Amino acid sequence: MTRKQRTVRVLIAVLAATMLVATACTPAGPITSPSSTPEASATAQIQQGGRIIEGTISDIATMQPVLSNDTASGRVIALIYDSLLIQDPKNGEPKARMATFSVSSDGLTYSFELNAKANWSDGKPVTGQDFLTAVQAVGKSAKTVRKSNYQDVQGFNEYCGPAGTGKCLATASSISGITLDSANPKKFSVKMTRVSCPAILDLNTIQPLPTQVYGKYLTATSKPEDLDTAPENASPTVFSGPFKFKEWRKGDQIILSRNDTYWQGAPNVDEYVYKVVANATAITNGLKTGELTFGSVPAKDLADMQTVDTVAIQKYQSLGYTFIGWNTLSPTAVGLADKRVRQALAYGIDMDAVIKAVVFGEATKNLAHHVAVQWAYPTTALEQYKYDKAKAQQLLKDAGWTPGPDGILVNAAGKKFSLTISTNSGNNERETLAQVAADQYKQLGIQAQARPEAFQGLVTKLTTGDQTLEATIIGWNLGGDVDPYSIWHSSNVPDPAKKVEGFGFTGFKDPAMDKAIEEGRNPTNGDCSTAARKKQYDTFNKILNENQPYNFGYSNNVLAVAQKTLQNFAPASYSTIYNVHQWWIKK
């Protein structure tokens, strides 16, 4: 062997050893420590400057609130346009943000007064006209999916277009229910056609839009596509939020710069970058290397993250839940029509063990539609459905399902109890849940199997009432008002024969539940107080808890990870960025 060959071999060996050591020894750090909260860092000297880089797995679609229908766009829009109200970060109750509000005694008129300091980045004040511009834009747009949020505003259906679609008539040139105060441009009121408890948050769906920018797309002669394809939708020019749009490198990052004229005070940081990465693993890696300032990580990465001493982890319950929906009308899994069978399926699955197996314990068992962080979460006692195999077997027996010679349950007609649990492929968590659930139901004598399929196809099957689905695992996000009408009112049960679509794909209907939902949404006595609505939702949740059209599964924890240098970062279930102007970077 020549000297040169020896040298090459030594170099290769050193490189290989370095790689081995590097992969084997990840830096050990302290176990999760709480991030610095506003209270904790209030006494510290706030430092100006720096850049926040949030990791996300989705690019934004638009910066036009009227067209936005995705979480990523919503995040950036909330950073550049402030809203009238804000939901309390912890319990979701509506509170003043850019405007204070009051409701008339008949519950039909909402009066708003914008903060005197609220202004646009070009120096103009934010006025009631800008709210009107936003509502007119919803009415004008052909591509928005927000029209139904404003349909109870007096005169909106007469104004909105195109005529003949939905409730739009396009017969009026103005919205009669919105009145601007001629003496004070900061004041305006909105009159509703009926008492609607979700209205206050519905009216807050779209942030006030700068009339000086969008007014030209809302004239009598302008067309819907003028607004829908306006260049300002992708490159906005005037802002009311804590940041100003600077650049959108598509598929890569959105760069926002500090709005020095922000009405609540200029943010402490210079820039906010919304960085798009490919997947959750890339967010985890970016947080470890410091390329990202904050982001959410999946439960499977939590233990790994806890070894990184440069980050802090905050946990809070998500505003949603993952569930198994039973098709109570299934012609093949006929057992699902029986309440006792559905209850047996709740007792027959050890959800606590499932949570440990599927999401490493980072979730809370859920018992009804509303989750614990919502004010509508029931305070009345609900059946806990603790794992009880014997009880499950007894309920199945009571419902007429007894083990056959092969151990599989059969009914009096000799039909075997088979059950296919579908879920969206590619979602590892749900695929595991489907498999674990199928395994546990097999222990009850049910011929259960998991079937992953493309989410795109699954959605169509669910909303059109495709009866080939027997059980489905998906999840709901519950942002906005607590009103469950779209999911649980009987009018939203899809009916393929009548071509009716909806999200009530379990086929479960209950007149008492309908009444509770209607009273919680449009109360006959006009009482939209939290206490009055909560009473209705207690009834509603109790019915669901007892009838089990879903196994209500669990509500995940959000694992928000941030560099320890990020101060005042205090995310909660309803919002992450509500106090973003107060965040600062410790150098």
Partner 1 sequence: MAPHHAEERLRNFILRRLIYAIPTLIGISIITFAIVRLSPGDPIRLFTFGQRDITGEDIERLRHLYGLDKPLPLQYVDWLLAMVQLNFGRSFIYHQDALQLLLTRVPNTLQLAVVALALQLVIGVPLGVIAALKRGTWLDGAIRIFGVAGHALPAFWLGLVLIIVFAVALRWLPSQGMLTVGKDVWDLPDRLRHILLPAFVLSLTGIANYSRILRTETLDVLSQDFVRTAHAKGLHERTVVFVHALRNALIPVVTALGGILAALVGGALVVEQVFSWPGVGQFTFQAAIAKDYPVVQAATMFVSVLLVVSYLLRDIAYAIVDPRIKTG
48-67 binders of partner 1 (CB under 8 A): 51, 53, 58-59, 61-62, 64, 67
Measured between alpha carbons, how far is 199 from 526 in angstroms, rounded to an integer? Answer: 13
The interface with partner 1 within residues 401-460 (CB under 8 A) comprises 453-460
Residue 88, burial from CB neighbour count under 10 angstroms (0-12, 13-18, 19+) = middle
Among 181, 501, 518, 546, binds partner 1 (CB under 8 A): 501
Q: What is the maximum span of the chain, computed from C-alpha positions, in angstroms?
A: 97
Cβ nearer to partner 1, comparing 148 with 443: 148
- Find the shortest distance in angstroms from Cβ 500 to partner 1: 6
Task: Select from 145-153, 323-331, 332-340, 555-563 the region that touches partner 1 (CB under 8 A).
Answer: 145-153
Which member of 476, 554, 574, 584 binds partner 1 (CB under 8 A)? 476
Nearer to partner 1, 230 or 409 (CB): 230
Helix (H) or strand (E) holding 72: helix 71-80
Query: How many whole angstroms separate alpha carbon 69 and alpha carbon 82?
Result: 17
**Strand, helix or coil for residue 8:** helix
Nearest to 55 by CA among 267, 284, 314, 241: 284
Check residue 291 for interaction with partner 1 (CB under 8 A). yes
Single residue of 47, 100, 148, 427 touching partner 1 by CB under 8 A? 148
Among the listed residues 182, 412, 499, 587, the single contact to partner 1 using CB under 8 A:
499
Residues 195-214 that bind partner 1 (CB under 8 A): 198
- For residue 443, the one-letter residue type is Q
CA distance 118 to 264: 8
Rg (CA), the chain: 27
For residues 520 to 559, the per-residue mask of contacts with partner 1, x marking binding by CB under 8 A and - elsewhere, is: ----------------------------------------
7 binds partner 1 (CB under 8 A): no
Interface with partner 1 (CB under 8 A), residue from 3, 22, 43, 220: 22
Question: Shortest gap between Cβ of 67 and partner 1 (angstroms)?
Answer: 6
Query: 């699954």: which residue's tokens?
Result: 458
In angstroms, give the least distance from the CB of 31 to partner 1: 19
What is the Cβ-side half-sphere exposure of residue 439, based on CA atoms within 13 angstroms? 11
Q: Which of 114, 116, 81 is nearest to 244 (CA)?
A: 81
Cβ closest to partner 1, residue 348 vs residue 465: 465
Among 282, 334, 357, 532, binds partner 1 (CB under 8 A): 282
Residue 244 or 340: which CB sits closer to partner 1? 244
Sign of dihedral through CA atoms 456, 458, 463, 467? positive
Looking at beta carbons only, is 424 or 440 nearer to partner 1? 424
Contact between residue 321 and residue 366 where contact means Cβ atoms under 8 Å apart: yes
Residue 520 CA to residue 498 CA, distance in Å, equals 28
| CB-based contact 305:287 (threshold 8 Å) | yes
Decide: 354 and 436 in contact? Cβ < 8 Å. yes
Q: Which is nearer to partner 1, 429 or 481 (CB)?
A: 481
Task: For residue 503, give Cα distances in angstroms to 166, 404, 427, 462, 486.
Answer: 18, 36, 21, 7, 6
Enumerate residues 113-142 that contact partner 1 by CB under 8 A.
Answer: 142
Nearer to partner 1, 357 or 500 (CB): 500
Where does this chain touch partner 1 (CB under 8 A) — which range of 37-45, 283-291, 369-377, 530-538? 283-291
For partner 1, which residue of 10, 42, 44, 145 counts as binding (CB under 8 A)?
Answer: 145
Stretch binding partner 1 (CB under 8 A), from 177-185, 284-292, 385-393, 396-404: 284-292
**Number of other CB atoms surrounding residue 217 within 10 Å:** 23
Write out the binding residues for partner 1, residues 376-405 only, by CB under 8 A.
none
Taking CB under 8 A as the criterion, the residue among 222, 285, 490, 579 binding partner 1 is 285
3-state secondary structure 162-215: CCCCCCCCCCCCCCCCEEECCCCCCEEEEEECCCCCCHHHHCCCCCCCCHHHHH
Closest approach, Cβ 222 to partner 1, in A, equals: 16
Binding mask 240-279 for partner 1 (x = CB under 8 A): ---------xxxxx-----------------x-x-xxxxx
Among positions 130, 158, 483, 519, the unique one binding partner 1 when judged by CB under 8 A:
483
**With the C-alpha atoms ordered 460, 462, 468, 469, is the resulting torsion angle positive or negative?**
positive
- Minimum separation from the CB atom of position 277 to partner 1 (A): 4
Give the shortest CB-212-to-partner 1 separation in angstroms: 22
Alpha-carbon span 305 to 409, nearest angstrom: 45
Question: Does residue 228 interact with partner 1 by CB under 8 A?
Answer: yes
- In whole angstroms, how close is the CB of 455 to partner 1 at the nearest point? 8
d(CA 284, CA 378): 36
Min dist. Cβ of residue 251 to partner 1 (A): 3
Tokens matching residue 251: 């598929």
Cβ closest to partner 1, residue 61 vs residue 103: 61
User: How far is Cα 220 from Cα 158, in angstroms, rounded to an integer?
Assistant: 14
Taking the complex as a whole, the smallest distance from the CB of residue 194 to partner 1 amounts, in Å, to: 14
The mark string for 154-193 relative to partner 1 (x by CB under 8 A, - otherwise) is --------x--xxx--------------------------
Interaction of residue 97 with partner 1, rule CB under 8 A: no
**Residue in the block written with tokens 């995310």:** 571
Question: Which C-beta is closer to partner 1: that of 185 or that of 479?
Answer: 479
From candidates 382, 436, 500, 532, binder to partner 1 by CB under 8 A: 500
Residue in the structure block whose two tokens are 């209270």:
39
- Taking the C-alpha atoms of residue 315 and residue 377, their distance in angstroms, rounded to an integer, is 20
Asked if residue 503 binds partner 1 (CB under 8 A), the reply is yes
222 binds partner 1 (CB under 8 A): no
Task: Find where tokens 């943010």 sit.
Answer: 267
Residue among 521 and 542 whose Cβ is closer to partner 1: 521
| Residue 74 binds partner 1, judged by CB under 8 A | no
DSSP 299: G
Query: SS3 for 535?
Result: helix
Given a contact cutoff of 8 angstroms between Cβ atoms, the answer to whether 412 and 399 are in contact is no
